[in-house]
Amino acid sequence: MQINPLGRNWGSLVNWDGLGKLYAGVTIAWTVALLAGIICLVWYRRSPFVRIRNLPIAITSTFFLHIYLVKILLAYTTNGHFLCSAEFWIMSIYLPFGIALFQANVTQLRSVAEQQECLLLRQTSHNGTPALASQSWFRRVLQSGSRLTQAQKSYIFIAIGMIIQLIVTSAIYATSPTLQGDWSSYGQIPFNKGQVKCRKTVEWVPSAFWQLFWTWIYGPYELYRIRHIRDAHRWRLQTILCIVSGLPGSPLWIASVFSKAFKPVNPWFVPPMWLAPGIIVMQFATVFFPIFEIFEQRNSMLKRVDSFSSTGSTLRATSFISEKGDRRQPRTSTSDLFDELNSASVGRLYSMLALERALIVNPTPLLHYAAKKDFTAENIVFLTSVRDWRQAWASAPRNPDTGKVTEDAQVRLFKMAVEIFAESVDEKTADFPINIEGHMRKELARIFSPDVLNGLSGFAVRKIRDRAPPSLYSTPPATPWADQKKAGSVTTTVTATPPSSADTTFGSLSSNNSAVKMVMSESKPYRLEDRPDLSPQTNGRGIDIPGFDEHVFDEAESSIKYLVLTNTWRKFVELREKDEEGGFDFGF
């Protein structure tokens, strides 16, 4: 391969030798590969493991980093035909901004993990928090900041850092004649010599500081914060690779600029090229790790397409109630759950029938896996909530003349459905809205949105909910209306035994299927009408909304159930099989 013996000599001609062509070829090939990868991510943006990664920030950080990468890859080929001032702006803005946005994307992992943990705790614990109304306005303002997710807090911090960086960079450029092309302080020197000296001034030190801060301070801090996360998406591995690969770049770049020891290699491997390996690793992991999971999922689904299609008959909660009306005692561990599935003749573990039985017998192990490893706990919460709501509808008191659910029971069922919609479906109130088709979400919004207080986040809805007795939001009963008494004016309440807190390992998870029953209380009960996050349309006169019946959630439930079957449940069973083979630690 022919190489210019002078290397990058700032001459009048570009270096279109063998090495220059190699750099240009690598630049073009990597740009095309990245573009194809980004198009693939956008195409599969609705996939659960792509959806949680904050794709806009990931793509933006990749774009900023790529601008700088193209510049340094072509530095030898262009042979210095690139203005020092332009390089200063790219070095001081595009590279640090790209790294900062990448760190913001990294924070998404920690934020999602913590939010999923909170979602899990809400399902396994009933400890309320103080109501907002009982606090001073100043304390409410302070708590409004604490309600931000870790990602949102990091975005604010990073945005402030980027603004400061932009102001400092602008001030340095405005006060530096050298960066503006005035090299009179060096005497009468040719243009190419001025370009060389311009790149070695103290004005470049802040740009190195920004890079060192994001890579050597904020990056290791993020590694420390995610040290306990063990996700199923290799997201933590991706983060470790990206941050560690970026550590050597800045020190080597500074050393190559100011140390004579690097002088023999600088003409052919320019100083900023030491940053290229870390940038390429960051781009590769950000774009291609999710793509690898996409194809991995497709291959796994092709292997088990027969199991997925063997849906069997739909199981109902009443199948697990004995003739005396007593609910079976739930099995509390993952081992017990799979023993139950294997002994129940439900067919293959990857079938829909096995998933449905697991959701009824004991969904807690699957919920823990979804929250701690797969980050899809919202799907399990939605399925179990709909299951319990449907049980309540099936056992609701009915008019003996028409056979329809009584108006009072219908009002209560509607409010329970509104709670499910607000916590799991509505994009304005749910922390993690379930991933359903747009027409399904619009139809549910048409029915339930008017009864959800506008502008409240899911956190605020939960704060209001916490004013109610914990039993109100416990698992609905198998026969919820059994003990009703006939009276002229009565109010329905719920009493429940709170479930024991679940352990963090699959081997000792406890079920949250409480023994619950409906009673008629003579004391002053908590009324659902008092909840300010719901504004009932009916005022106790029954529900007359087109589309609201016991099948209102059927379409969304089927969609989410298939999504869980082909994603979370598949990986959950695979992990169990690895555990049985002794090749994997099933605990967290």
The model's pLDDT over 302-325, given as tens digits with 9 standing for 90+, comes to 776 655 555 444 433 333 333 333
pLDDT digits (tens, 9 = 90+) for 418-464: 999 999 999 888 888 998 898 999 999 998 888 886 444 444 444 44
Residue 486 has pLDDT above 60, yes or no: no
Dihedrals φ, ψ of 494, to 5°?
A: -125, 140
All domains of the chain, ordered by start, with CATH?
18-119+150-298 (1.20.1070), 316-580 (no CATH)
pLDDT at 280: 94
Q: What is the pLDDT of residues 319-365, one digit of tens each?
A: 333 333 334 444 445 555 555 555 544 447 778 888 888 888 888 88
pLDDT confidence of residue 342: 53
Q: What does pTM read for this prediction?
A: 0.71
Helical axes 150-174 vs 205-212, angle rounded to 10°: 170
Predicted local confidence at residue 103, as pLDDT = 80
Sign of CA dihedral 470, 472, 478, 484: positive
Give the confidence band of 291 by pLDDT, cuts at 50, 70, 90: very high
- Residues 6 or more apart whose CB falls under 8 angstroms from that of 391 comprise 317, 476, 477, 478, 480
Structure tokens at 302: 């092709």
pLDDT reported for residue 69? 93
With beta carbons less than 8 A apart as the criterion, state whether 197 and 186 touch: yes
The confidence score (pLDDT) of residue 554 equals 92
**Percent of the chain predicted with pLDDT > 70:** 71
Mean pLDDT of 168-187: 82
What are the residues whose beta carbons fall under 8 Å from the beta carbon of 540, sequence distance 6 or more? 407, 408, 411, 529
- Band the pLDDT of 540: cuts 50, 70, 90: very low
The CB density around residue 273, as the number of other CB atoms within 10 Å, is 21
Asked if 8 contacts 75 with a C-beta cutoff of 8 angstroms, the reply is yes
Q: CA 414, 419, 424, 430 torsion: positive or negative?
A: positive
Q: What is the mean pLDDT of residues 16-20?
A: 87
What per-residue confidence (pLDDT) applies to 37? 95
Q: Say which amino acid occupies 554.
A: D
Nearest-5° Cα angle at 332, 328 to 336: 90
Per the CB < 8 A criterion, the answer to whether 424 and 385 are in contact is: yes
Higher pLDDT, 98 or 528: 98
Q: What is the pLDDT of residue 523?
A: 29
Per-residue pLDDT tens for 99-122?
Answer: 888 888 878 888 888 888 888 888
Tell me the residue type at 204.
W
Out of 175-184, 394-403, 424-433, 505-514, which region has the weakest mean confidence (pLDDT)?
Answer: 505-514
pLDDT at 77 > cutoff 50: yes
- Torsion-angle region of 406 (φ positive above 0: left; ψ -120 to 50: alpha; else: beta): beta
Percent of the chain clearing pLDDT 90 (strictly above): 19
| d(C-alpha 311, C-alpha 145), whole Å | 46
The residues near 479 (Cβ < 8 Å, ≥ 6 apart) are 321, 325, 395, 517, 518
| 571-585 mean pLDDT | 68
pLDDT of residue 144: 53
